[in-house]
A and B are shown apart, each in its own frame.
Chain A
């Protein structure tokens, strides 16, 4: 480990905790942030300090991504923990949470332990693990939530499979509460959404694609909110996408239900018209929505109703994507493009930079009890240095993920990541 302290000078500090966005400098020592200055330069630096001149680039906490899939274990050709870690480092993501729907499922403490140790050996970024809420993500029998929590699982989820049996879901919520763990659930009625690859409406009808009415999300969400209310448990609404569901969420939160929500960067960036030429990189679960829903989602991030933004990184190799639209695997890789895509919300969406950064750093970190996400003395030195105005052209073939299914392919974005630091160690850039 580098014993020499590092000083970042001439930076634009963006600190979600103090909500400071302005000129500053910062010193890192022994893996942690040692000192923060609200002026660009630092006087009387000792000679053994490595100085990095930021030239006005943004220095922010490294991103925290609550929803990442890899193929390890079970489907390594898609993505390994190592390739995902490299992609994360290149994208300025310093912590991410692996989803448990692997083969085998992460539904017992030994599996949690296995993934944590594998990731620790790679040692690029912080890899956390979410445990399955039910055995095999089958929605029937509760998994060992307590033992997995003890082994380090940060929250529980069955990922894309809804827990249809309300009694099971109620018990999961109540039980997880005893271990002070969050339960994440992606709300959708599985009967309405069976086989669907698009959102019902004029456009999907014209394309002749099987579709699901948007209300399928609200139907399940209302149940989830009701059960969160009666159990008093903490619920994370995983990837909320529709204006309708946002209204339900707002109502429940006003009543004091402990529900938070995440939005995927894909649903903040694209709408249903993007599937127009059957490009399977836009085949997502949940499917892309009309522009009115996308706009409502952006507004919900702006208002704080949706606190967290995730990349929803879901690698799918070419053989699973080079198919007719309805037959292709869902999902998109997102780790490496996460920050530039977030910056679109600031550059063209009019959201304050501090709010966009908070939704992908401090907010998710707090939700799962991580100490990062802040530029405060004593916090871990998980940092990203990004020239947020620099134009970049996304070339999916050059992404570090093993799968190249990026919906941002050939898109022009802004935000070149100059350096990523995890625990005081540079893991990307110079």
Chain B
């Protein structure tokens, strides 16, 4: 993504934030268009956020959550794509458990596809909403130092954020246990830390990542309590960050594992609720831009 494209999306999203605060929240930009939410992986907030975004823009939004066993996951993806394509949707939002899932699906359908998360690869709208949240909170992104902490290795949120934050001029740090830092991450232009106290020293933003429960208990880290001790965000560690530090989390949170409730619920530092609010606006911006591009190419 180009810096100018990212900024244009953020500007458009900014406008939608205002719209979402009005009593009448609906506009007809996408009226008559069909938005299909295709979620192979369960998600509450991303799916409802896309659904709301589509409906506020006047689209007909339907949700599909194909039940999948791991055995037939892929088969279902292609089969579902072909079936859906025959129904002529205009916008397809897809989340899939495999990296490259959205890209594969986009080859098999003729409408616009939005990646709502593919495996450990990318989650672009999350990065955009995080950027919007930061820009509205700090007034700028350029020059900020952001520490992304936790299970970076398996996190699509981290990958998309590293890319976008750097495009927008922020300094990125990665912090986590050595078993959850991806190989070669030091080549991504980010500073890598295994010591969280050093990693968040002086940062403007601490972005926490969710640790999947199955990765604790000896697989990647010995236990949740050990994880919390060294990589959980508590007031003591947060005190090392820059004055005015803000805390983010893509949700859903494991309270007491990666983040202390005291921090998560402190309105003075936590941007977590703002992230959810920005999510709808950013997704409206993404859907509206895609629809504009499609009708442009149809002409």
Q: What is A's interface to B at a CB cutoff of 8 Å?
A: 200-209, 211, 213, 277-278, 319, 322-328
Contact = CB atoms under 8 A, between A and B. Distances in A.
Interface stretch (B28-36, B70-78, B129-137, B245-253): B70-78
Chain B contact residues (Cβ within 8 angstroms of A): what range?
A: 20 to 34
B99 A278 contact: yes
A324 B185 contact: no
A204 to B, nearest CB: 7
Interface string B129-153: 0000000000000000000000001
Interface-centre pick from B99, B121, B122 (highest chain A CB count, 10 A): B99
Contacts of A328: 74
B183 A202 contact: yes
Contacts of A325: 98-100
A202 B100 contact: no
B120 A324 contact: no
Contact of A323 (B75, B118, B153): B75
B183 A324 contact: no
Interface in B224-270: none
Pairs of residues from A and B, 7 with the lowest C-beta to C-beta distance, nearest first: A202-B184, A324-B98, A208-B120, A323-B74, A278-B100, A205-B182, A208-B121
Given A205-B153, A278-B104, A324-B119, A211 B78 contact: no
Nearest to B153: A205
Interface string B169-182: 00000000000001
A211 B159 contact: no
Interface of B: 73-75, 77-78, 96, 98-101, 103-104, 118-122, 153-154, 156, 159, 182-185, 187-188
A357 B120 CA distance: 43
A217 to B, nearest CB: 16
B47 to A, nearest CB: 20
B78 A206 contact: no
B194 to A, nearest CB: 16
A324 B74 contact: yes
B74 A207 contact: no
Contacts of B159: 206, 208
Given A208-B119, A208-B120, A208-B156, A324 B99 contact: yes
A201 B96 CA distance: 23
A207 B184 contact: no
Contacts of A323: 74-75, 77-78, 98, 104
A325 B122 CA distance: 15
Given A207-B121, A208-B122, A208-B159, A324 B96 contact: yes
Contacts of A204: 183-184
B77 A324 contact: yes
B98 A326 contact: yes
Given A200-B183, A202-B185, A208-B122, 17 more contacts: A201-B184, A205-B182, A205-B183, A205-B185, A206-B159, A207-B99, A208-B120, A209-B119, A322-B78, A323-B74, A323-B77, A323-B98, A324-B77, A324-B98, A324-B99, A325-B100, A328-B74
Contacts of B154: 208
B165 to A, nearest CB: 15
Nearest to A209: B99
A156 to B, nearest CB: 32
A326 B119 contact: yes
B8 to A, nearest CB: 25
Contacts of A327: 73-74, 98
Nearest to B77: A324
Interface-centre pick from B96, B103, B182, B187 (highest chain A CB count, 10 A): B182
A211 B184 CA distance: 12
Nearest to A328: B74
Interface-centre pick from A206, A207, A319 (highest chain B CB count, 10 A): A206
